[in-house]
Structure 1
Amino acid sequence: MATLDIDLVLAPVDGSDESQQAVEHAIAIAEEYDATVHAVYVLGEDVARGIETGAVDESVVATDTESFTETVFDRADERGVSVTTSIAYGFSTKVKTTHPGSVILDTAEEVDADFLVVPREPVSGDPGEVLEKAAEYVLLYASQPVLSV
């Protein structure tokens, strides 16, 4: 029987309830394998376009994402799990192939993730929930094991 060697669990988040659940699972897996969690906050298309055009204040986005990632740090700290974070644009007006799924896989390669936990498509479909279409793409193309929650 093969065992998994997990040092880093990647959890893409977007502030949705589904991404909070994914973080909980990522923390549990990291705790079990004595691993670290990396939470990448993936910014939605409206936010990315707004920042590029100057219609959205980057400091407001930073505050919102920081607030969410603080809850990630708090939850992980309660379980004795180390966390790192980053922010990524889930869309680009200049690069056609940039979308949430590709951003997640690129981040997984950059941080050398051993395991991915991605949220499933949300039921609500709120415009701010950018990971809703990424799960299937990540499941199809990831080279690491993936848990879709």
Structure 2
Amino acid sequence: MYNRILVPVDGSDQSAAAVEHTLDLAEKYDADVHAVYVVDTGTNLLTVSKDEVRDTLRDLGEETAEGVLREVEGRVGDADADIDLVVDVLEGKPDEEILQYADEHGIDLVVMGTHGRTGVKRRLLGSVTERVIRDGDIPVLTVGGPSTS
């Protein structure tokens, strides 16, 4: 049923819960797992015109991505099943990059946390998960995590 499962990660508790569900599904269906972290260079609360500032934001995002993806690799290594893992760092608007990646890699299912951002950022920028569901034509399994309230 599922051969390739995509799990976008961002380091949040909801993202970690999505990884756990993804590993369970991958074991059950003998599916490959694709874990991606999107460095958000497509949306900013403030308009940034200086290239140096954008480069700094990109570098910080890539450092965060490496740590988050290492955690996913560790969880896959701890799993009882033999799961093939592909990791990638993308750059741009998260919802657009996730959908493009899914299309380019023949992803059968996207497993996402219900939200990663909280508070004002979530209200101003919206939910990446909501936009992936609304704009995509691929099945999306949403996973809640521990309450942030």
TM-score (norm 1): 0.74
Measured after TM superposition, the shift of residue 107 of structure 1 is 0.9
Residue identity (%) = 32
One of 85, 88, 109 as aligned partner of 1:86: 88
Residue 8 of structure 1 is aligned with which of 4, 28, 31?
A: 4
In the alignment, is the contact (CA less than 8 A) between 1:120 and 1:132 conserved in 2? no
Computed over aligned residues only, the root mean square deviation of the Cα atoms, in angstroms, reads 2.6
Poorly superposed stretches of 4+, deviation over 2 Å: 57-64, 121-128, 140-144
Show structure 1 runs of 5+ residues with no match: 92-99
Deviation at 1:142, TM superposition (A): 2.7
Aligned pairs (5 A) from 1:67-106: 67-79=67-79, 80-91=82-93, 100-106=94-100
Q: 1:28-71 deviations in whole A, cap 9, x for unaligned? A: 1111101111011012345xx87x82221655433321111111
Instruction: Give the count of matched residue pairs.
Output: 132
**Matching of residue 22 in structure 1 with residue 24 in structure 2:** no
Query: Are residues 9 and 126 of structure 1, via their aligned partners in 2, closer, same or farther at CA, if it must alter by over 3 Å?
Result: farther
Contact 2:10 2:116 in 1 (8 A): no
In the alignment, the residues of structure 2 paired with residue 117 and residue 132 of structure 1 have an alpha-carbon distance, to the nearest angstrom, of 18
CA distance in 2: counterparts of 1:138 and 1:57, whole angstroms: 23
Q: TM-score, normalised by structure 2?
A: 0.74
1 or 2 for the larger relative contact order (CA 8 Å, sep ≥6)? 2
- Residues 11, 118 of structure 1: 8 Å contact kept: yes
Separation in 2, partners of 1:6, 1:112? 10
